[in-house]
């Protein structure tokens, strides 16, 4: 009788061990899954923090860029104000010079008329004449260049026999520098003559 009770006690113990072992394996499996989830979440958290650092750096870069833009705007505003002041000074200086020039020209014209000479051209007439001469010069150069390209495609204006530099002489400004000339001035290239 005592042996049977001992056997029953051992069977109960084995049953309990088995149940506890199964329960322990289930908890162990869950614990392993939780560890894996924990490690994954730690990796994600690290990536999130790195991304946040990059965003903060980008934010600071944009802040610095905005600061530089504002600084450039301030400099440009000051430059515009200075330019406006210079423009007003130039306008005032131009007005004074014009007021000084006008009576002097009228006096000179009156003296020339007493000698039978024609009056001097007005400023607007001189500007219109200069603009017309420059337009004629550019048109002439364009026509000659097109003809030259049609003939050879690579000849320069200096080598064209049909273009006499002396014909361009009255149309050139005083500081015009001929191709190949080492000194400024309205001198045509060597080898050309005033008469074609």
Residue 157 and residue 144 in contact, taking contact as beta carbons nearer than 8 Å: yes
Rounded to whole angstroms, how far apart are CA atoms 196 and 186? 18
Please calculate the CA angle 112-134-130 and round it to the nearest 5 degrees. 20
Burial category of 196 from C-beta neighbours within 10 Å (exposed 0-12, middle 13-18, buried 19 and up): exposed
Between 191 and 150, the more confident residue is 150
Q: Is the pLDDT of residue 187 over 60?
A: no
Average pLDDT, the chain: 76
Predicted model pTM? 0.41
The pLDDT assigned to 43 comes to: 94
Q: Is the pLDDT of residue 125 over 70?
A: no
Percent of the chain with pLDDT over 90: 37
Q: Is the pLDDT of residue 189 over 80?
A: no
Number of neighbours of residue 63 by Cβ within 10 angstroms: 10
The pLDDT assigned to 137 comes to: 59
pLDDT band at 119 (very low <50, low <70, confident <90, very high): confident
Q: Is the pLDDT of residue 165 over 70?
A: no
In degrees and rounded to multiples of 5, residue 190 shows phi and psi of -65, 145
Q: Is the pLDDT of residue 154 over 60?
A: no
Q: Is the pLDDT of residue 116 over 90?
A: no
Of the candidates 170, 125, 162, the one whose C-alpha atom is nearest the C-alpha of residue 146 is 162
pLDDT band at 146 (very low <50, low <70, confident <90, very high): low
């Amino acid at each position: 009788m005592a042996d049977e009770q001992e056997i029953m006690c051992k069977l109960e113990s084995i049953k309990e061990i088995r149940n506890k072992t199964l329960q322990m394996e289930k908890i162990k499996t869950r614990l392993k899954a939780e560890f894996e989830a924990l490690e994954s979440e730690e990796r994600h958290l690290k990536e999130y923090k790195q991304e946040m650092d990059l965003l903060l750096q980008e934010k600071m870069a944009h802040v610095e860029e905005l600061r530089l833009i504002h600084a450039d705007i301030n400099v440009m505003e000051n430059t515009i104000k200075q330019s406006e002041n210079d423009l007003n000074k130039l306008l005032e200086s131009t007005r004074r010079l014009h007021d000084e020039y006008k009576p002097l020209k009228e006096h000179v014209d009156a003296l020339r008329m007493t000698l039978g000479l024609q009056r001097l051209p007005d400023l607007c007439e001189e500007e219109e004449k200069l603009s017309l001469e420059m337009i004629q010069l550019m048109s002439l150069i364009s026509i000659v260049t097109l003809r030259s390209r049609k003939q050879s495609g690579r000849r320069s204006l200096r080598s064209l026999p049909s273009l006499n530099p002396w014909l361009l002489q009255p149309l050139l400004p005083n500081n015009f520098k001929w191709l190949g000339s080492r000194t400024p001035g309205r001198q045509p290239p060597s080898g050309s003559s005033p008469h074609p």
